[in-house]
Chain A
Amino acid sequence: MASTAALTQVPLLLDHRMVEQHSLRRGEPKWLREARLEALDRFTPDAWPTGEEEEWRRFPLKDLPAGPIVSTLDHLPGIQFKLEPEATAAGVIFKGLLRASLDNPELVRSHIAPGDGIPSHAAFRALADALWSAGSSFVHVPAGVEVRQPLVLEKVWPAGDDAMLSRTIVVAERDSSVTLVEDLTSDGEAPRLAVPHVEVHAGAGARVTYVGIRRFAPGVLDLGFQRFRSARDSDLRSLNVFAGEGRSKVGIESDIEGDGAVVKLFGLVAAGDNQRIDVNSFQRVDGRSSQSDLLYLSALYERAKAIFYGLIRVEPTSHGTGSYQECRNMLLSPEAGADPIPVLEILTNDVVRCGHGATAGALGDEELFYAMSRGFDRDAAQQLLVHGFFRRVINELKDEHVRQRVLSAVRPRIGNIAEMGVLV
């Protein structure tokens, strides 16, 4: 058990009592409290990043918000878990995590153990797993069930300085299908910490899409973590949209755990001001003929900086897999910057493809001139080109409403000149 004394090097203090009190106050069952305490055990001084890790070298973990780490907010105002009647009838569960723990304990219990993943993010996973509160959610889709409408969660944290620690657990059983969209917003300007911890399990043959949109307020320090697990023949897509005004340091891990799995990890970053959006990804590729592809696009304004450290590991036990990592950065101001760092670890000769591509550069002069010669002023021409650039990812979204939601999230940054749902 972690003691307070042992944690003095760590800038955040939490202890057994805090976690226990938090759970008791919320009226949680004992097993849930134990799961939280188990997570607390992982919150050790060694779990805290030293800054030497590849993932943390470019993201100084100083100026941690001083607000309370324990939030007494149990429910986000206005959050709605809307589920189509067919899905409810088929036994799909789509609820707040506490509600699900009370209603469906046996199900939640089997997925509530503290999450694993990239070691240097362990402290933040542990933090979220020990102290999650409002905005946590649970999705379970039974085998063979297809949820047609995307599940959409609008999570709006009211103003405050308490930490926004949440857990999202999505379990799609064998041959099921589901799309979850989480749209995260926060009000207020106070410095505060956010750790959205997301775990997605795609069972054998399941088709899962996870879209996470972040529109956090300027004072937010987002240290989120996501882990995607893919069983054989599953198809898993994720899209992260960074459209807020805060700082982000997010770790993403994708583990392929069976043959023939397909993973697609997309990202859009629309940042400005002095924002720093730092993402590190780990694509673990295993199995026979599995595919893992990542595509992150950034549009960077003013003094914004995007850092992307991406690692692909093709495991020695894999056969004939394909993987790729692509990171493109559009610098829309001379002071904007991008630092894409791709790393490939190919531990077998039996690989069909594995590669990376990374670029960072200003808008093309010829393209700008061409657009302006058609009557667009400079700003409109720029909007048009950025919009076109983002389309490559947006077009991957099949659902028109989800697409519109993503567009509306990036609109304040990239503008709306080229939005034309009506036509094409």
Chain B
Amino acid sequence: MSSLKIRDLVVSVEGKTILNGIDLVIESGSVHAIMGPNGSGKSTLSLAIMGHPKYKIVRGQVLFDGVNLLKLPVDARARAGIFLAFQYPSAIPGVSVANFLRTAINARRAAPSADGAGEVKKNDMPIPQFRKLLAEKMKLLGIDDSFITRSVNDGFSGGEKKRLEILQMHMFQPRFAILDETDSGLDIDALKVVAEGIEAMRSPDVGMLLITHYERILRYVHPDFVHVLVDGRIVRTGGRELAAELESKGYDFVREALYAGRA
């Protein structure tokens, strides 16, 4: 059992405070959904956990099995088992998907030297094993062969980018996955495939944070908790029914409740 504990997290971007004290605990085996209006800070939360240099931690902690993630470089967070499916994945022209996946897997398998300075010890995945794994995952996600020879996200459609994020999640087998609007911009069939891909990742050993605008995805991937993020704060937490309520009433009702309560 592992857990990701976010404590009183305050994050600013370019001098502006975006997250105003987030408290959230996610145990492995559970799925938490975060919903919230545009600009409420959902991506800021996911990028801050991953370690994007633009997002400054003003206060707070993110503990992953007791280790303060915020002290680790980005790649060490990834190797510790955190995975972020980006809302806006970057293109890497000239690097094929297969090449990217394989070198990333090998980078993750390499053991840093004990003193942190010397040579890393390589432990490359044998090519046949890699091929087999990739073929398996591509089949699971209904990904076409031609996909893996293309450059990473270069000229990809929105839906293709999201599929690649899910494929990476499956290839890397993280212990904790944050999915930032992976369901946005997908057609109905793709949504189903992506949802099944997320569902297939579910296991007692994996924790998930699903950021979404739509209740639809939650019909496939049943969250244990739904949180509502407004203006950089989690203002409500509930079960799946909260998502349905939001869908029908919109965010104004939470906002009103929030500010009425404060006034």
Kindly list chain B residues whose C-beta atoms are within 8 Å of the C-beta of A385.
92, 95
Kindly list chain A residues whose C-beta atoms are within 8 Å of the C-beta of B103.
376, 380, 384, 417-418, 420
Contact: A375 with B95, CB < 8 Å? no
**A372 and B96 contact, Cβ closer than 8 Å, known pairs A364-B90, A418-B103:** no
Interchain CA distance A422-B127 in the complex, whole Å:
9
In the assembled complex, the CB of A424 is this many whole angstroms from the nearest CB of chain B, namely 4
In the assembled complex, the CB of B32 is this many whole angstroms from the nearest CB of chain A, namely 20
**A372 interface neighbour in B74, B98, B127, Cβ under 8 Å:** B74
Contact: A420 with B102, CB < 8 Å? yes
In the assembled complex, the CB of B52 is this many whole angstroms from the nearest CB of chain A, namely 6
**A418 interface neighbour in B53, B86, B95, Cβ under 8 Å:** B95
* B108 is an interface residue with CB less than 8 A from chain A: yes
* Interchain Cβ contacts within 8 Å, total number: 102
Interchain CA distance A371-B53 in the complex, whole Å:
13
Closest B residue to A391 using CB positions: B94
* B149 is an interface residue with CB less than 8 A from chain A: yes
Contact: A424 with B90, CB < 8 Å? no
Contact: A375 with B108, CB < 8 Å? yes
In the assembled complex, the CB of B153 is this many whole angstroms from the nearest CB of chain A, namely 8
Contact: B149 with A374, CB < 8 Å? no
* B104 is an interface residue with CB less than 8 A from chain A: yes
Contact: B73 with A373, CB < 8 Å? no
Closest B residue to A394 using CB positions: B94
Interchain CA distance A376-B53 in the complex, whole Å:
16
Contact: B172 with A375, CB < 8 Å? yes
Contact: A388 with B93, CB < 8 Å? yes
Interchain CA distance A388-B150 in the complex, whole Å:
12
Q: Mark B61-93, 1 if CB is under 8 A from A, else 0.
A: 000000000000111011100001010011111
Contact: B100 with A372, CB < 8 Å? no
Closest B residue to A395 using CB positions: B94
**A370, A375, A376 pick with most chain B CB within 10 angstroms:** A375
Interchain CA distance A44-B12 in the complex, whole Å:
67
Interchain CA distance A374-B74 in the complex, whole Å:
9
Kindly list chain A residues whose C-beta atoms are within 8 Å of the C-beta of B237.
none
Kindly list chain A residues whose C-beta atoms are within 8 Å of the C-beta of B104.
374-376
Kindly list chain B residues whose C-beta atoms are within 8 Å of the C-beta of A377.
73, 75, 107
Closest A residue to B95 using CB positions: A388
In the assembled complex, the CB of A212 is this many whole angstroms from the nearest CB of chain B, namely 22
Interchain CA distance A422-B91 in the complex, whole Å:
23
* B168 is an interface residue with CB less than 8 A from chain A: yes
Q: Which residues of A in the span 197-212 have a Cβ within 8 Å of any Cβ on B?
A: none
Kindly list chain A residues whose C-beta atoms are within 8 Å of the C-beta of B107.
374-377, 380, 417
* B2 is an interface residue with CB less than 8 A from chain A: no
Contact: A372 with B92, CB < 8 Å? no
Kindly list chain B residues whose C-beta atoms are within 8 Å of the C-beta of A365.
53-54
**B54, B78, B103 pick with most chain A CB within 10 angstroms:** B103
In the assembled complex, the CB of A404 is this many whole angstroms from the nearest CB of chain B, namely 15
Contact: B148 with A388, CB < 8 Å? no
Interchain CA distance A388-B152 in the complex, whole Å:
10
**B75, B91, B148, B168 pick with most chain A CB within 10 angstroms:** B75
Contact: B93 with A389, CB < 8 Å? yes
Interchain CA distance A372-B108 in the complex, whole Å:
11
Q: Which residues of A in the span 338-385 have a Cβ within 8 Å of any Cβ on B?
A: 364-367, 369-378, 380-381, 384-385
Q: Mark B23-55, 1 if CB is under 8 A from A, else 0.
A: 000000000000000000000000000111110
**A373 and B78 contact, Cβ closer than 8 Å, known pairs A391-B94, A392-B93:** yes
**A369 interface neighbour in B52, B98, B108, Cβ under 8 Å:** B52
Q: Mark B149-163, 1 if CB is under 8 A from A, else 0.
A: 101000000000000
* B99 is an interface residue with CB less than 8 A from chain A: yes
**B95 interface neighbour in A366, A372, A384, A422, Cβ under 8 Å:** A384
**A367 interface neighbour in B52, B92, B96, B149, Cβ under 8 Å:** B92
Q: Mark A48-74, 1 if CB is under 8 A from B, else 0.
A: 000000000000000000000000000
Contact: A423 with B98, CB < 8 Å? yes
Contact: B93 with A373, CB < 8 Å? no
Kindly list chain A residues whose C-beta atoms are within 8 Å of the C-beta of B168.
374
Interchain CA distance A424-B168 in the complex, whole Å:
17
Interchain CA distance A263-B79 in the complex, whole Å:
47
**B50, B107, B108, B127 pick with most chain A CB within 10 angstroms:** B107
Contact: B99 with A424, CB < 8 Å? yes
In the assembled complex, the CB of B165 is this many whole angstroms from the nearest CB of chain A, namely 10
In the assembled complex, the CB of B243 is this many whole angstroms from the nearest CB of chain A, namely 27
Interchain CA distance A304-B127 in the complex, whole Å:
37
Interchain CA distance A375-B79 in the complex, whole Å:
6
Kindly list chain A residues whose C-beta atoms are within 8 Å of the C-beta of B51.
369, 372-373
Closest A residue to B131 using CB positions: A423
Closest A residue to B149 using CB positions: A424
* 18 new A-B contacts at CB < 8 Å, known A369-B52, A375-B172, A378-B75: A364-B90, A371-B90, A372-B51, A373-B77, A373-B86, A374-B108, A375-B78, A375-B104, A376-B104, A380-B75, A384-B92, A384-B95, A385-B95, A391-B94, A391-B95, A417-B103, A423-B96, A423-B127
Closest 3 CB pairs of A and B: A388-B94, A391-B94, A370-B90
Can you list 21 A-B pairs with a CB-CB distance of less than 8 A? A364-B90, A369-B90, A370-B92, A372-B74, A373-B74, A373-B77, A373-B78, A373-B84, A374-B100, A375-B78, A375-B172, A377-B73, A378-B73, A384-B103, A388-B93, A388-B95, A417-B107, A418-B95, A423-B99, A423-B127, A424-B98
